[in-house]
Amino acid sequence: MTDDAMPASEAADGSEGADLRSVSVRKGAIGQIRADEVEVAQGAVGGIMADRVYVERGALGGVVASKVSVEQGFVQGVIAGEVTFEQAGARTVMANHVTFGPSSGAILVVARTVDGDGRFLLDWRGGLALGAAFAVVTAVLRRRC
């Protein structure tokens, strides 16, 4: 941890977030983090805006970063340049390059390239088709009501 980084225990005791170069969360929870580098181990963070994010057995609400690596964790939403999942999952991933390791997956993946053995429910084409179908059904139901 750099000299201007705050331990997770200080940030989790009532402050709403932290704005630092490097933050490490271990067995704790923080609402929001803005930092160059974030490491979460057995913790939870509501939202992260960083250059690099590493998660090990943790949960994140949302992440905006250049590089994200998740091992045995879960992320609600990711917007990143490069994302790697190892025995991890996500609800929504938007990235330039996504790599899924074994036992990894996501519900919706929008990416330029996807590598690995992971599974996902919808790619960008499936998401577009589902959205169009939802719009048609909603329009029909509004006309009947």
- Model confidence at 110: pLDDT above 90: no
Give residues with Cβ within 8 angstroms of 61, minimum separation 6. 45, 46, 47, 76, 77
Q: Which two tokens stand for residue 140?
A: 């029909």
pLDDT above 50 (res 15): no
List all residues 6 or more positions away from 98 whose beta carbon is below 8 Å from its beta carbon. 82, 83, 84, 85, 106, 109, 111, 113, 114, 115, 116
116: left (phi over 0), alpha (psi -120 to 50) or beta: left
pLDDT of residue 16: 53
Lowest average pLDDT, out of 4-18, 74-88, 98-112, 126-140, goes to: 4-18
Distance of CA 84 to the CA centre of its chain: 11
Q: Is the pTM of this model over 0.85?
A: no
For the chain, the structural domain boundaries read 8-144
Residue 126: pLDDT band with limits 50, 70, 90? confident
pLDDT confidence band for 17 (50 / 70 / 90) = low
- So what's the pLDDT on residue 6? 44
